Amino acid sequence: MAIYRADEVRQFSDVELKEQMDKLKMELIQHYGKVSAGGSTENPGRIRELRRTVARMMTEQNKRRLG
């Protein structure tokens, strides 16, 4: 799954934004599951990237909802 920057997130339609965010959240849950089971992920920095990307998407959703 790709990491999206703010300008890329703005180009998504509302439906695409929701779908992509759901996919990223599922990937994040999988990484957290590996860590909580005592394992480690192949790329620990990926968790941080995923969290930030989800936050960008949530920010864009809020802008659209309020704006």
Residue 67's pLDDT band, with cuts at 50, 70 and 90, is: confident
Answer yes or no: is 1 within a domain. no
Please write the tens of the pLDDT for every residue from 15-45: 999 999 999 999 999 999 999 998 888 888 9
CB 8 within 8 A of CB 60: no
Q: What is the pLDDT of residue 42?
A: 84
Domain of 51 in residue numbering reads as: 6-66
CATH number of the CATH domain containing 10:
1.10.287.310
How many domains is the chain partitioned into structurally? 1
Answer yes or no: is 40 within a domain. yes
Answer yes or no: is 12 within a domain. yes
Answer yes or no: is 14 within a domain. yes
Q: Could you tell me the two tokens for 13?
A: 């339609």
- The rounded distance, in Å, linking the Cα atoms of 32 and 47 is 8
- The rounded distance, in Å, linking the Cα atoms of 14 and 25 is 16
